Protein backbone atom coordinates (compact mmCIF):
# COMPACT_ATOMS: atom_id res chain seq x y z
CA UNK A 1 0.00 0.00 0.00
CA UNK A 2 1.10 3.55 -0.73
CA UNK A 3 2.38 5.38 2.33
CA UNK A 4 -0.41 7.81 3.06
CA UNK A 5 -1.44 8.74 6.57
CA UNK A 6 -4.40 10.90 7.41
CA UNK A 7 -4.80 12.44 10.84
CA UNK A 8 -6.90 12.51 12.82
CA UNK A 9 -8.99 9.53 11.72
CA UNK A 10 -12.02 10.75 13.62
CA UNK A 11 -12.95 14.14 14.95
CA UNK A 12 -16.01 15.68 16.55
CA UNK A 13 -16.12 19.42 16.93
CA UNK A 14 -18.53 22.31 17.28
CA UNK A 15 -19.83 24.76 14.72
CA UNK A 16 -17.61 27.80 14.37
CA UNK A 17 -14.37 26.18 15.47
CA UNK A 18 -11.35 25.90 13.17
CA UNK A 19 -10.33 22.39 12.10
CA UNK A 20 -7.17 21.21 10.36
CA UNK A 21 -6.80 17.82 8.74
CA UNK A 22 -3.40 16.49 7.80
CA UNK A 23 -2.30 14.24 4.98
CA UNK A 24 1.23 12.87 5.11
CA UNK A 25 2.84 10.82 2.33
CA UNK A 26 6.11 8.95 2.15
CA UNK A 27 6.00 8.34 -1.64
CA UNK A 28 7.41 11.70 -2.78
CA UNK A 29 4.49 12.09 -5.21
CA UNK A 30 4.06 15.53 -6.69
CA UNK A 31 0.25 15.68 -6.76
CA UNK A 32 -1.96 15.64 -3.69
CA UNK A 33 -5.74 15.93 -3.48
CA UNK A 34 -8.42 16.47 -0.86
CA UNK A 35 -11.89 15.04 -1.45
CA UNK A 36 -15.03 14.82 0.59
CA UNK A 37 -17.40 11.88 0.34
CA UNK A 38 -21.08 12.22 1.10
CA UNK A 39 -23.96 9.82 0.47
CA UNK A 40 -25.37 10.28 -3.02
CA UNK A 41 -22.50 12.49 -4.15
CA UNK A 42 -19.56 10.16 -4.53
CA UNK A 43 -16.21 11.91 -4.12
CA UNK A 44 -15.99 15.62 -4.75
CA UNK A 45 -12.70 17.45 -5.12
CA UNK A 46 -12.08 20.23 -2.61
CA UNK A 47 -8.53 21.37 -3.41
CA UNK A 48 -5.46 19.88 -4.97
CA UNK A 49 -1.76 20.58 -5.12
CA UNK A 50 0.62 20.13 -8.03
CA UNK A 51 3.76 20.97 -6.09
CA UNK A 52 5.07 22.67 -2.97
CA UNK A 53 3.15 25.91 -2.49
CA UNK A 54 1.19 25.24 -5.72
CA UNK A 55 -2.49 24.64 -5.08
CA UNK A 56 -5.78 25.10 -6.89
CA UNK A 57 -9.48 24.89 -6.18
CA UNK A 58 -11.71 21.96 -6.88
CA UNK A 59 -15.45 21.61 -7.24
CA UNK A 60 -16.42 22.33 -3.62
CA UNK A 61 -13.73 24.65 -2.27
CA UNK A 62 -15.88 27.24 -0.46
CA UNK A 63 -15.16 27.24 3.27
CA UNK A 64 -11.88 25.33 2.88
CA UNK A 65 -8.26 26.35 2.53
CA UNK A 66 -5.13 24.29 2.00
CA UNK A 67 -1.42 24.59 2.41
CA UNK A 68 1.55 22.60 1.22
CA UNK A 69 4.90 23.76 2.57
CA UNK A 70 6.61 20.38 2.10
CA UNK A 71 6.25 17.68 -0.51
CA UNK A 72 5.06 15.18 2.06
CA UNK A 73 2.37 17.21 3.83
CA UNK A 74 -0.92 18.63 2.58
CA UNK A 75 -3.13 20.36 5.12
CA UNK A 76 -6.85 21.04 4.79
CA UNK A 77 -8.31 23.76 7.02
CA UNK A 78 -11.91 24.57 7.78
CA UNK A 79 -11.62 28.13 9.04
CA UNK A 80 -15.00 28.11 10.79
CA UNK A 81 -16.63 24.71 10.64
CA UNK A 82 -20.30 24.39 9.71
CA UNK A 83 -22.62 21.41 10.00
CA UNK A 84 -22.68 21.10 6.19
CA UNK A 85 -19.00 20.18 6.36
CA UNK A 86 -19.74 17.01 8.28
CA UNK A 87 -18.34 14.38 5.95
CA UNK A 88 -15.64 11.83 5.36
CA UNK A 89 -12.50 13.45 3.98
CA UNK A 90 -10.03 11.58 1.81
CA UNK A 91 -6.55 12.50 0.79
CA UNK A 92 -5.07 11.09 -2.40
CA UNK A 93 -1.68 11.25 -4.08
CA UNK A 94 -0.54 10.74 -7.63
CA UNK A 95 2.78 10.69 -9.43
CA UNK A 96 1.77 12.64 -12.46
CA UNK A 97 -1.72 14.09 -12.12
CA UNK A 98 -4.70 13.33 -14.27
CA UNK A 99 -2.87 13.65 -17.59
CA UNK A 100 -0.11 11.20 -16.80
CA UNK A 101 -2.12 7.96 -16.97
CA UNK A 102 -1.22 7.12 -13.39
CA UNK A 103 -3.62 6.10 -10.63
CA UNK A 104 -4.39 7.92 -7.45
CA UNK A 105 -3.62 6.31 -4.11
CA UNK A 106 -5.93 7.05 -1.22
CA UNK A 107 -5.63 7.34 2.52
CA UNK A 108 -8.19 5.70 4.77
CA UNK A 109 -10.09 8.89 5.43
CA UNK A 110 -11.00 11.22 8.28
CA UNK A 111 -14.53 11.08 9.60
CA UNK A 112 -15.44 14.61 10.69
CA UNK A 113 -18.61 15.44 12.60
CA UNK A 114 -19.57 19.04 13.27
CA UNK A 115 -22.26 19.53 15.88
CA UNK B 1 -22.58 18.96 -11.88
CA UNK B 2 -19.39 17.74 -13.48
CA UNK B 3 -19.77 14.31 -12.04
CA UNK B 4 -20.22 11.15 -13.96
CA UNK B 5 -22.82 8.62 -13.05
CA UNK B 6 -22.65 4.93 -12.42
CA UNK B 7 -25.47 2.59 -13.24
CA UNK B 8 -26.92 0.76 -11.45
CA UNK B 9 -26.64 2.46 -8.07
CA UNK B 10 -26.84 -0.92 -6.36
CA UNK B 11 -26.42 -4.49 -7.56
CA UNK B 12 -26.91 -7.78 -5.74
CA UNK B 13 -25.77 -11.07 -7.29
CA UNK B 14 -24.89 -14.61 -6.32
CA UNK B 15 -21.32 -15.77 -5.96
CA UNK B 16 -20.00 -17.06 -9.27
CA UNK B 17 -22.16 -14.74 -11.38
CA UNK B 18 -20.81 -11.87 -13.43
CA UNK B 19 -21.32 -8.26 -12.38
CA UNK B 20 -21.53 -5.42 -14.86
CA UNK B 21 -21.61 -1.76 -13.94
CA UNK B 22 -21.64 1.23 -16.22
CA UNK B 23 -20.25 4.74 -16.06
CA UNK B 24 -21.27 7.76 -18.08
CA UNK B 25 -19.37 11.00 -18.14
CA UNK B 26 -19.77 14.44 -19.64
CA UNK B 27 -16.47 15.87 -20.83
CA UNK B 28 -13.59 15.02 -23.11
CA UNK B 29 -11.21 12.76 -21.22
CA UNK B 30 -7.62 11.66 -21.20
CA UNK B 31 -8.25 8.39 -19.38
CA UNK B 32 -10.83 6.65 -17.24
CA UNK B 33 -10.13 4.70 -14.09
CA UNK B 34 -12.10 2.31 -11.91
CA UNK B 35 -11.71 2.12 -8.15
CA UNK B 36 -13.08 -0.14 -5.43
CA UNK B 37 -13.97 0.99 -1.93
CA UNK B 38 -14.55 -1.41 0.91
CA UNK B 39 -16.67 -0.19 3.80
CA UNK B 40 -14.80 2.28 5.99
CA UNK B 41 -11.70 2.32 3.80
CA UNK B 42 -10.14 4.47 1.12
CA UNK B 43 -10.45 3.82 -2.58
CA UNK B 44 -8.21 1.29 -4.26
CA UNK B 45 -7.26 1.61 -7.90
CA UNK B 46 -8.36 -1.30 -10.11
CA UNK B 47 -7.69 -0.46 -13.72
CA UNK B 48 -6.99 2.46 -16.04
CA UNK B 49 -8.01 2.73 -19.69
CA UNK B 50 -6.71 5.46 -21.94
CA UNK B 51 -8.96 7.42 -24.26
CA UNK B 52 -7.45 5.71 -27.33
CA UNK B 53 -8.12 2.22 -25.95
CA UNK B 54 -11.41 0.37 -26.31
CA UNK B 55 -10.96 -2.60 -24.00
CA UNK B 56 -8.65 -3.67 -21.21
CA UNK B 57 -8.37 -6.74 -19.02
CA UNK B 58 -6.86 -7.35 -15.61
CA UNK B 59 -7.46 -10.72 -14.00
CA UNK B 60 -11.22 -11.10 -13.60
CA UNK B 61 -11.83 -7.49 -14.62
CA UNK B 62 -12.75 -6.30 -18.07
CA UNK B 63 -13.21 -2.63 -18.87
CA UNK B 64 -14.57 -1.14 -22.07
CA UNK B 65 -14.58 2.47 -23.15
CA UNK B 66 -16.75 4.12 -25.80
CA UNK B 67 -15.66 7.73 -26.13
CA UNK B 68 -18.33 8.47 -28.77
CA UNK B 69 -21.01 7.62 -26.19
CA UNK B 70 -18.97 8.94 -23.25
CA UNK B 71 -19.44 5.69 -21.39
CA UNK B 72 -17.48 2.82 -19.86
CA UNK B 73 -18.37 -0.50 -18.35
CA UNK B 74 -16.68 -2.67 -15.75
CA UNK B 75 -17.28 -6.41 -15.84
CA UNK B 76 -16.26 -8.59 -12.90
CA UNK B 77 -16.38 -12.24 -13.87
CA UNK B 78 -16.98 -15.17 -11.50
CA UNK B 79 -17.69 -12.85 -8.60
CA UNK B 80 -16.72 -13.68 -5.03
CA UNK B 81 -18.05 -12.53 -1.68
CA UNK B 82 -14.83 -10.54 -1.30
CA UNK B 83 -15.86 -8.43 -4.31
CA UNK B 84 -18.60 -6.87 -2.17
CA UNK B 85 -17.75 -3.17 -2.22
CA UNK B 86 -18.59 0.12 -3.88
CA UNK B 87 -17.14 0.74 -7.31
CA UNK B 88 -16.38 4.17 -8.72
CA UNK B 89 -15.30 5.42 -12.10
CA UNK B 90 -13.08 8.46 -12.35
CA UNK B 91 -12.29 10.47 -15.43
CA UNK B 92 -9.21 12.54 -16.06
CA UNK B 93 -10.38 15.69 -17.74
CA UNK B 94 -8.37 16.65 -20.78
CA UNK B 95 -6.17 19.61 -20.00
CA UNK B 96 -6.48 19.62 -16.21
CA UNK B 97 -4.84 17.91 -13.25
CA UNK B 98 -8.21 16.91 -11.86
CA UNK B 99 -10.11 13.66 -11.63
CA UNK B 100 -13.89 13.58 -11.58
CA UNK B 101 -15.54 10.73 -9.75
CA UNK B 102 -18.91 9.17 -10.35
CA UNK B 103 -21.42 8.49 -7.62
CA UNK B 104 -20.62 4.77 -7.40
CA UNK B 105 -22.25 1.35 -7.67
CA UNK B 106 -22.74 -0.68 -4.50
CA UNK B 107 -22.11 -4.34 -5.30
CA UNK B 108 -23.19 -7.10 -2.95
CA UNK B 109 -22.10 -10.65 -3.72
CA UNK B 110 -24.07 -13.27 -1.85
CA UNK B 111 -22.30 -16.47 -0.82
The model's pLDDT over A7-44, given as tens digits with 9 standing for 90+, comes to 999 999 999 999 999 999 999 999 999 999 998 888 99
Residue window 48-67, chain B: list those with CB within 8 Å of chain A: 48, 50
pLDDT of the residue at B108: 97
Report the C-alpha gap between B105 and B43 in whole angstroms. 13
Using the Cβ of B30 and the Cβ atoms of chain A, whether some distance falls under 8 Å is answered with: yes
Which one of B23, B94, B97 would you mutate to disrupt binding with A, by most A Cβ within 10 Å of its Cβ?
B97
pLDDT of the residue at A18: 96
Distance of CA B68 to CAs A113, B8, B28, B46, Å? 42, 21, 10, 23
Higher pLDDT among residues B93 and A32, named by residue: A32
Q: What are phi and psi of A83, to 5 degrees?
A: -60, -25
Strand partners, B92: B31, B99
pLDDT of the residue at A99: 77
pLDDT at B1 over 50: no
pLDDT of the residue at A1: 58
The model's pLDDT over B58-75, given as tens digits with 9 standing for 90+, comes to 999 999 999 999 999 999
Which whole number is the average pLDDT over A45-54? 94
Amino acid sequence: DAGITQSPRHKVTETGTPVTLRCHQTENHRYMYWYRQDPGHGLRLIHYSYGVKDTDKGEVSDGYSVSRSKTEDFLLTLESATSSQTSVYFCAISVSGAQGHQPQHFGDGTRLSIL
Amino acid sequence: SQQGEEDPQALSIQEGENATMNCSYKTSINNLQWYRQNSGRGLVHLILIRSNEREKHSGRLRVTLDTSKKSSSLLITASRAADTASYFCATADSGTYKYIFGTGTRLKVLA
